[in-house]
């Protein structure tokens, strides 16, 4: 694959890449602008009293105090069709030779950016004033906004920094960096909750959905699933399902899930948001009733059981066993 091993990380971030994201209300933070914050729609809705993220319902985090960010906005190993970022604004898959900001500065900048982006809610009569005040000090970091966060070489420092500040962390990875996950384990820097995205059930669906920029991404993902049971933290496999692309073969998904042995599985429909609307769009979204039926099949083949669901987000939660179902709610001491 032409360019699949090319390292473009030494290039300065093009201004048109920065402009593209700022037009989408991303706030780029840090001196070197490789990190970003964007206010989640559920954070806004929570402030307005019109709902909360399914992760609040499933796991107990507070949507209005969640900081959605990334330390690797322009780097990823995939160009997923369902991704809400601009997959064309990509500097490759190797950040190691880029000039990088330190974790403390990134987190300081991210919190400051969150406060600035939320300032309009202060005078909004529909906003909950108490929740707005609480939102000024986020206590949950979703390291999942865009790009592949495990490519950031100082990720362990970022997670430890959040931990020192009493913040829980949800890290979402596409599974192509198993070595980075082992490093987090060795450095006692695993997140509060670790997500691995599983959006394909075989080689063909993997290539179709992910459009990888590396040659061995599937092998790396399978290695991540192999080591996943040995990572001592809360573990979730997330299936992002798109009609006509990867919404089939629950038995094959179940075999991969059984190998990974996560605490929970989320089966979720693709949602037509961000730049993904230019590639897919609403017709690829799956009605919640079909997600529920698929999850029932997944449960039959995997041994997991359906624990919860949120229809508005078109997502169903499956738990490994009764103990996992009972222990799914986090506290700020986790």
Contact criterion met (CB below 8 Å) for 213 and 93: yes
The pLDDT of residue 80: 79
Look at residue 332 in the predicted model and tell me its pLDDT.
59
Q: Which domains does the chain have, with CATH numbers?
A: 18-326 (3.20.20.70)
Q: Mean pLDDT score of the chain, rounded to an integer? A: 91
Query: Model-level pTM greater than 0.85?
Result: yes
Residue 64 near residue 134, CB atoms below 8 Å: yes
pLDDT digits (tens, 9 = 90+) for 69-84: 999 999 999 887 777 7
Residue 3 pLDDT exceeds 80: no
Name the pairing type of β-strands 27-29 and 168-173: unpaired
Inform me whether the pLDDT recorded for 194 exceeds 70: yes
**Per-residue 3-state assignment (H helix, E strand, C coil) for the chain:** CCCCCCCCCCCCCCHHHHHHHHHCCCEEECCCCCEEECCCHHHHHHHCCCCCCHHHHHHCCCHHHEEEEECCCCCCCCCCCCCCCCCCCCCCCCCCCCCCCCHHHHHHHHHHHHHHHCHHHCCCCCCCHHHHHHHCCCCEEEECCCCCHHHCCCHHHHHHHHHHCCCEEEEEECCCCHHHHHHHHHCCCCCCEEEEECCCCCHHHHHHHHCCCCCCHHHHHHHHHHHHHHCCCEEEEEEEECCCCCCCCHHHHHHHHHHHCCCEEEEEECCCCHHHHHCCCHHHCCCHHHHHHHHHHHHHHHCCEEEEEEHHHCEEEEECCHHHHHCCCCCCCC
The share of the chain scoring above pLDDT 90, in percent, equals 76
Q: Which region holds residue 247: left if phi is over 0, alpha if psi is between -120 and 50, else beta? A: beta
Does the pLDDT at position 8 exceed 70?
no
Among 6-15, 215-224, 253-262, whose mean pLDDT is lowest? 6-15
Q: How far apart are CA 253 and CA 200, in angstroms?
A: 8
Mean pLDDT, range 223-242, rounded to an integer: 97
pLDDT digits (tens, 9 = 90+) for 16-54: 888 888 888 899 999 999 999 999 999 999 999 999 999
- CA-based torsion, 239, 245, 247, 253: positive or negative: negative
């Amino acid at each position: 694959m032409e360019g699949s091993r090319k390292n473009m990380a030494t290039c300065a971030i093009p201004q048109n890449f920065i402009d593209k994201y700022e037009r989408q209300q991303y706030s780029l933070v840090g001196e070197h602008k490789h990190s970003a914050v964007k206010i989640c729609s559920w954070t806004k809705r929570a402030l307005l009293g019109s709902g909360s993220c399914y992760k609040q319902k499933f796991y107990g985090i507070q949507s209005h105090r969640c900081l959605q960010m990334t330390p690797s906005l322009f780097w990823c190993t995939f160009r997923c069709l369902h991704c809400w970022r601009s997959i064309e604004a990509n500097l490759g898959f190797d950040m190691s030779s880029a000039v990088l900001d330190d974790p403390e500065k990134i987190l300081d900048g991210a919190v400051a950016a969150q406060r600035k982006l939320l300032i309009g809610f202060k005078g909004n009569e529909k906003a909950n004033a108490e929740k707005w005040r609480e939102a000024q000090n986020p206590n949950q970091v979703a390291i999942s906004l865009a790009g592949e966060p495990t490519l950031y070489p100082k990720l362990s420092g970022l997670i430890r920094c959040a931990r020192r500040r009493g913040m829980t962390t949800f890290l979402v990875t596409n599974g192509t960096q198993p070595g980075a996950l082992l490093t987090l384990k060795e450095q006692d820097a695993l997140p509060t909750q670790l997500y691995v995205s599983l959006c394909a059930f075989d080689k063909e669906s993997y290539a179709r959905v992910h459009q990888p920029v590396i040659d061995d991404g599937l092998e790396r993902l399978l290695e991540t699933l192999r080591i996943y049971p040995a990572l001592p933290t809360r573990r979730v496999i997330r299936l992002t399902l798109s009609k006509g692309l990867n919404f089939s073969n629950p038995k094959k998904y179940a075999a991969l899930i059984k190998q990974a042995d996560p605490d929970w599985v989320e089966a979720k429909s693709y949602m037509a948001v961000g730049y993904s609307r230019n590639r897919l769009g609403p017709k690829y979204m799956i009605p919640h009733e079909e997600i529920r039926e698929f999850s029932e099949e997944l449960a039959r083949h995997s041994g997991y059981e359906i624990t919860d669901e949120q229809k508005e987000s078109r997502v169903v939660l499956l738990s490994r066993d009764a103990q996992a179902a009972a222990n799914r709610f986090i506290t700020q001491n986790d």
